[in-house]
Structure 1
Amino acid sequence: MKLIASTDVAQVLREKCLVSTQDSLLVAVSGGADSMALLSLLSKQNWHIEAAHCNFQLREEESEGDAELVRSFCDNLGIRLHTKRFSTEAYAGQNKISIEMAARDLRYSWFNQLLSDHGLDFIISGHHGNDNIETFFLNLIRGTGVKGLTGMAYKNDKVLRPLLGYSQDDILIYCKENQIPYRDDSSNTDTKYLRNKIRHELIPVIETINPSFFKTMQNNMMHLNEAEMLLKHVVEEFRDEVLVDEHDQIIIPISKLQLYAEKRTILFEVLRPYGFNTTVVDEVLEHLDGLSGKQFFSDTHRLIKDRHNLLVLEKKDIEVDHFWVEEGLTLNPIKLLVSAYEKTPDFAFSKTNDQVHFDADTIELPLLVRRWQHGDEFMPLGMKGFKKLSDFFIDNKFSLADKENAWIMISGEDIIWVLGHRIDERFKTTKRTKRILEFKLG
C-alpha cells in the first residue's frame, strides 16, 4: 500500500509531466473514485483547476446521479465545472466503432475544445497503475509491439496521468480516509468488455500466483520502457540511414533490411505508423525473395514488393485515367501548363524532363493524356527505332509505383511524351521548326 499525498502528486506533475505552477489544468471527472480523488488532491495545490464531466447517456438514471455528484463536489471545492451530454450510441453506429472507442473519441475531442476555448493547458486524467496493467494485457492480446507493452505514459502531449504510480486500492484508501464521495460505474463489472474481462477474470488468477503482481508489473513496464527507448534509437537510425522518402513514397531497400537479424521487429516499427500490423509484416517477410508485384494493405497505405525495394504508398483513389489537352490550360490531376509561340533566334531547348518543347507543326491538337497500357511503344529521344514502354521502364529502373503513376501524351495515334521522363524523337524541335509547343509540369 502507498499513501497518497497531494504534495507527492504535485511532484509527479512537475517532474514526470513537466507541469509548472503557471499552467492551468482541466481535470476529467467521471464521478468514480479515481477522478474524485484526483480532483481532491489537486485542489490542495496552487494550480488553476477546472473540471469536465461527460454524460454519455448509456446508463440512464445512473448517469444522471454521476453528474449530480460531480456538480455538488465541484461546488464544495469552488471549482468551475464544464458538463456535456453525448449521443454515444448514435455516434458509435454512424462511425461503425465500439461504444468504448466512441466515448473516447467524443470526450477527448470535447476536452481539447475546452482547452482551446478557455485557455487551459493540460487535460488531467485519473488513470492509475491498475489501469496501466490492464492496458498492457489489452495490447499484448492485440499484438501492438513493444511500444504497446510499455503502458500509458505520465505525459502524452496534452494528456497527463499523475496517478500511474498508485494502485486502485491506494486510491480507495485515500477516498475513505478523506471522506471523498464517489460512485461505482455498473458497466465496469460487465465482462462483455475485454478490459473488464482482464480486470475481473485474468488478473485475479495471476494475483493468486504472485501476490506482489502490481509491484512486479510496475517494474516490468519500467524495464519495457527502457527497452522501447533502445529500440526506438535503432529504428530511428534505420530510418535515417536506410529509408528513402521520395516522390510521396517510402523506399525500403530489401538488401539492407536483410542485413538486420532483428528485421521483423525493425520492419514492424517502421511500418506501424502506416497502419500495418504484425500479421502483414510476417507476410511481407515471407515474400522478400519472391516475385515483384505482391501488394499488402493497411487501412491507409499499401506496400508493394518491387524487385529490390519495399515501397510504401498512401492509398489514393484514381478517379481520372485520361484527359484532353488544349492550348493554354492547366489541368488536374496533373498540373500541366501548355503554351505555343513563335520560335526566336535565342530559343533554347529545355534540358529538363519537367519542361519540354515540341515542333508545334508536327502536333495534332487536342492531345490525349492517359495512363500507359501494355503494348504501348514510342521512339525515345535520341533513338531511331521504337521501344515498348514496358522495356523503357525496365531500362530506366522504374519501380512498380513509378509504372502505376506513369502518364503518356498522345498526338493522333502516336505517343509524343512519357510525362516527366522522355519525349519522342519524331516530335522534337529542329532547325526547321517555326512554332514551339511547350509543356511545363507543375
Structure 2
Amino acid sequence: MDKLSFKNIQHVLESKCHIASEDKLLVAVSGGADSMALLNLLIEGGYKLIAAHCNFQLRGSDSDSDEQLVKGFCNSKNVKLVTTVFQTNAYAREKKISIEMAARELRYNWFSSLLDEHNLDAIVTGHHGNDSIETFFLNLVRGTGLRGLSGISYRNGNIIRPLLDYPRASVETYCEVNKIAYCHDESNDDTKFIRNKIRHDIVPVLESINPVFFDTMQSNLAHLKDAELMLKSEVERFQETDVVDEDDKVIIPISKLENYPHYSSLLFEVLRPYGFNSAVVAEVIDHLHGLSGKQFFSDSYRLIKDRHNLLVLPIEEVGVQHFWVEEGDNHEEVSMIIQVYDKPKGFRFSRNAGLIHLDADLVDLPLLVRKWKKADSFMPLGMTGFKKLSDFFIDEKYSLKDKEDAWLMESGEDIVWVLGRRIDDRFKVTNRTKRILEIELK
C-alpha cells in the first residue's frame, strides 16, 4: 500500500471524491488522529478550507480539551475554525434516539448550514478504511442488504471521505511522523457499543487468520460496490417500466416482479426507502400468493398484498368518519354538488356512477355520509333483495384500499348510495317521482 501523503490523497480527491483544486471545503475535525491527519493533508495541498469542530459535551473536561487541541492547531496553521456546543443528551431524550444518532444528526445538520453560510462545496470527514470494514460487519449483523455491505462511499451527496484507502494504523503513523498531536476518545474502547466490539474483538481475530485482512476486505468491498451498482441499475429499470407511483400510492405488479430471477433482492431495494427491513420483506415474499388483504408495516408505511399487486401506502391518522350534507353543501372530505328540483318532462336519470338521481320525496335531508361497517347491507339498483356490503365489495373487486376509502350515504338508517358505485333500488327515480334529488361528485 502507498504511504499516506497528500500526493496520494489528491488522487483520491480527484478520481473518487470528484473534488477540484478550486473547490472550497468544510473539514470536520474532532481532534482524533484521522481528522487531524486529514486537516493537515488538505492544508499541505493548499485547499481553500474552513475547519469545523463540535463539542458534544459527552466526556466532561475531555470534550473541552479536544476543542482546545483543535483550536491550537488551527491557530498554528492560520486556518479559520468554527465551533459549536451541543446539548446532545437533551436532544437524544427529546427525539427518543440513541446518543450516537443524536450526535450524527446534530453535527450533519450544522455542517449543512455552514455550507450555505460560507458558500462551501463539500464536507470532508476523516473516515478511514477500518471504519468502512467495521460498517460492513455492522450492516451484516443488521441485515441491510447489498447496499449496506459495500462499506462507506467515497462521496455521498456533498460529503466526501478521502482516507478510505488507508487503515487506522497508517493514519496514526502519519500523525507521529509529522508530529501532529491528537486526542484519544476513551469511549471508543468501550465494547458495550457494537462498533467497538467489532473493532476490538472481531477484527483482530480475522487479522490473525489473514495477515492481509485489510487489503482483502478492501477488495471485497470494491466487488460488493460493483454488485450494488448493477443491482441499482436493475432496480431503476424495474421502477421505470413496471412500478406505478401515483397519489401517495406505489403499485408493484406481482407478476412483473416475479419475472426477475432475483426478485427478493429487487423487492428489498424497492421497499427499503419506505423503511421495510429484510425480515419484513422476507415475510412479504412468503405471502406473494397468499390471501389478499394481508398487511405489513414499517414505521411510516404499510404494504397491502392485493390480488395482483403489492400496494405501498403511507400510514395515515384516522380522519373524519362521518359528516352531514344537504342542498348547497360542499364538504372537504368528499366534494359534491347537491340540488333538488321538480322532475322535468322527458327526464332521463343518469347512468354515470358519479352523478346520481334519486326520488327526493323518499329521502330525508340532511344526509349522513359515513364509512362502511361490516354489518352494512343495502338493495343494489336492479335487485329486489338485500346484499351485504362486504359481498358487494367482493363482486365489484374492491381492494382493501378501495374498501377503506369507500363512503356510504344514508337517509334515516337506510343506505341510499355507495358513493361512486351503486344507488339503492328503493330510492331510484320512477314514473311516480315528482321531485329529483341530484348529487354530483366533483
Would the TM-score normalized by the shorter structure come out above 0.5? Answer: yes
Shift of 1:28: 0.7
* Partner Cα separation in structure 2 for residue 364 and residue 19 of structure 1: 72
| CA shift for structure 1 position 311 | 2.3
Give the aligned partner of residue 336 of structure 1: 335
Q: Evaluate the alpha carbon distance shift between residue 408 and residue 8 of structure 1 in structure 2; reply closer, same or farther with a 3 A threshold.
A: same
SS at match of 2:302: strand
2:262 counterpart of 1:262: yes
- Alpha carbons 1:359, 1:434 under 8 Å: kept: yes
CA distance in 2, matches of 1:128, 1:283: 36
**Residue pair 2:326, 2:338 contacting (<8 A) in 1 also:** no
After superposition, give the CA deviation of every residue in 1:301-355 in whole Å (9 maximum; x if it has no partner): 12222333332221112143212224444434x2424343657999997776555
Q: How does 1:177-216 map to 2 (within 5 A)?
A: 177-216=177-216
Show the 5 A alignment for 1:344-355.
353-354=353-354
Residue range with higher mean Cα deviation, 77-86 or 123-132: 77-86
1:338 maps to a residue whose letter is I
Change (3 A) 1:24 1:335: farther
Identity within the alignment, %: 56
Q: CA deviation at 1:30?
A: 0.1
Could you tell me which residue of structure 2 aligns to residue 239 of structure 1?
Answer: 239
The 3 A distance-change label for structure 1 pair 323 and 73 is same
What secondary structure is seen at the aligned counterpart in 2 of 1:26?
strand
Specify the alignment match of 1:438 in structure 2: 439
Contact 1:429–1:436 (Cα < 8 Å) also in 2? no
Distance 1:330 1:69, change over 3 A: farther
Which amino acid counterpart does residue 159 of structure 1 have in structure 2? I
Q: Is 1:282 aligned to residue 282 of structure 2?
A: yes
Query: Cα–Cα, structure 1 residues 335 and 112, in superposed 2: closer, same or farther, change >3 Å?
Result: farther
Query: Match of 1:296, as an amino acid?
Result: F
In the alignment, what sits opposite 2:297? 297
Task: Find the aligned partners of 1:42 and 1:107 in 2 and give their Cα distance.
Answer: 21
2:137 counterpart SS class: helix
What's 2:227 paired with?
227
Q: Please, which moves more after superposition, 415-424 or 97-106?
A: 415-424
In the other structure, the counterpart of 1:106 is 106
TM-score (norm 1): 0.90
- Alpha-carbon displacement from aligned partner over 1:219-241 (angstroms, at most 9, x marks no partner): 10110011111112222233333
Change (3 A) 1:15 1:375: same
What is the distance in 2 between the residues matched to 1:151 and 1:27? 21
Paired residues in the alignment total: 440
Residues 14-413 of structure 1 mapped to structure 2, 5 A cutoff: 14-332=14-332, 334-340=333-339, 353-354=353-354, 360-380=360-380, 386-413=386-413
Output the amino acid matched with 1:324: W
| Cα deviation 1:155-175 (Å, max 9, x = unaligned) | 111211111112212212221
Compute the displacement of 1:391 (Å): 2.7
* Bigger Cα displacement from structure 2, 50-59 vs 412-421: 412-421
Q: What amino acid maps onto 1:148 in structure 2?
A: G
| SS of residue paired to 1:211 | coil
Q: CA deviation at 1:249?
A: 2.6
Displacement after TM superposition at 1:380 (Å): 4.2
Question: Unmatched 5+ residue regions in structure 2?
Answer: none
Q: CA deviation at 1:390?
A: 2.0
Output the CA distance in 1 between the equivalents of 2:219 and 2:346.
76
Per-residue deviation, 1:399: 1.0
Deviation, 1:145, is 0.5
**CA deviation string 1:183-227 (max 9, x = no partner):** 111111111111111111100110011111111111101100111
Moved more, 419-428 or 156-165: 419-428
CA distance in 1, matches of 2:158, 2:187: 27
- Report SS of the residue matched to 2:139: helix
Give the superposed CA RMSD: 2.7
Q: Secondary structure at the match of 2:204?
A: helix
The answer as to whether partners of 2:2 and 2:8 remain within 8 angstroms in 1 is: no
For residues 369-410 of structure 1, the C-alpha deviation after alignment (integer angstroms, 9 at most, x for no partner) is 111122423344566665432233222221112112211122
Shift of 1:45: 3.3
Cα gap change, 1:388 to 1:182, in 2 (>3 Å): same
> In 2, are the aligned partners of 1:328 and 1:337 still within 8 Å (CA)?
no
Residues 291 and 117 from structure 1, CA distance in 2 versus in 1: closer, same or farther, beyond 3 angstroms?
A: same
CA distance in 2, matches of 1:6, 1:417: 75
Q: Which amino acid aligns with 2:402?
A: D
Q: 2:55 touches 2:83 (CA, 8 Å); kept in 1?
A: yes
For 1:433 and 1:156, locate their aligned partners in 2 and report how far apart those are by CA, in whole Å: 71
Please say if residues 154 and 161 of structure 1, whose CA atoms lie closer than 8 Å, have aligned partners that are also in contact: yes
**Contact kept? 1:242, 1:256, Cα under 8 Å:** yes
* Change in 2 beyond 3 A, CA 1:22/1:362: farther
**Alpha-carbon distance in 2 for matches of 1:345, 1:14:** 82
Asked if 1 retains the 8 angstrom alpha-carbon contact of 2:367 and 2:411, the reply is yes
Distance 1:362 1:131, change over 3 A: same
Offset at residue 362 of structure 1 (A): 4.7
Calculate the TM-score normalised by the size of structure 2. 0.90
Distance, in Å, in 1 between the alignment partners of 2:128 and 2:287 is 43
Aligned 8 A contact 2:126 2:161 in 1: yes
Stretches of structure 1 lacking an aligned partner (at least 5 in a row): none
| Between 112-121 and 350-359, the greater mean CA deviation after superposition | 350-359
What SS is found at the alignment partner of 1:165? coil
CA contact (8 A) 2:364 2:412 kept: yes
> CA offset at residue 418 of structure 1?
2.2
Cα distance in 2, alignment partners of residues 371 and 414 from structure 1: 14
Structure 1 residues 353 and 40, CA gap change in structure 2 (3 angstroms): farther
* Per-residue deviation, 1:180: 1.7
Distance 1:194 1:422 in 2: 59
Q: 1:35 to 1:322 in 2, by over 3 A?
A: same
Contact 1:340-1:360 at 8 Å conserved across structures: no
Q: Is 2:431 the partner of 1:421?
A: no
> More deviation in 204-213 or 397-406?
397-406
